[in-house]
Amino acid sequence: MSIKLGDTAPNFQSDSSVGEIDFYEFLGDSWGILFSHPADFTPVCTTELGFTSKLQADFEKKNTKVIALSVDDAEDHKKWIEDINETQNTQVRFPIIADKDRKVSELYDFIHPNASLTATVRSLIIIDPEKKVRLIITYPASTGRNFNEIMRVLDSLQLVDEYKIATPVNWIDGDDVIIPPTIPTVEAEKLYPKGVKEVKPYLRYTPQPNK
């Protein structure tokens, strides 16, 4: 199965480091981040999970739940978490899905045969409260993810959903945002009381509405 932007994220049930999980029940009405790891006890993954753990409070403030996946069993996950906590100076509290049979990996297209027949690529999916897939990022197994970028995209997606805006190149929370070309300037001046800066008729900026 190939997952694309706008698709409904498929539900699944699986064992995990915290017991049996129904994915939809776990997400509830929150945003969700599902990210895959090639295997337990691997160095790059250990640093990623440790960094994610340190960001968990920030994700919770954004109504976002994080959940990892690795193609090993739950007992290995628990032992690996001990290593992560020790080496990364943290306490991992989010679940790691046990996917020894690779059912979830195949469901979410995390295994790319030309990269590896058995291990997952380093993929990450952001899912909104309607269970729609909003972001897909895939790295090779050898390259660790940039969670600062993931947090930035999450901020953008949540802002776009709340206001009729888009975010420009290298945007970070607090920067000016873009007014979509579909909104006439007369309407834009009413929608964005902080002001409309027109560079071109199709390129207009306004201060971030919620700042």
Catalytic residue numbers read 45
Please, which residues bridge with residue 206 across strands?
A: 177
For 194-207, give the DSSP string. T--EEEETTEEEE-
Does residue 95 contact residue 35 with C-beta atoms inside 8 Å? no
Listed residue (156, 58, 84, 200) closest to 68, CA to CA: 84
In sequence order, the 6+-apart residues with CB closer than 8 A to the CB of 59 are 33, 65, 66, 151, 154
Q: Which tokens in the block code for residue 160?
A: 């776009």
What is the rounded distance in angstroms from the CA atom of residue 24 to the CA atom of residue 9?
A: 9
Coil, strand, or helix at residue 44?
helix
Does residue 179 contact residue 80 with C-beta atoms inside 8 Å? no
Question: The tokens 């959903």 sit on which residue?
Answer: 161
What is the rounded distance in angstroms from the CA atom of residue 211 to the CA atom of residue 24?
A: 32
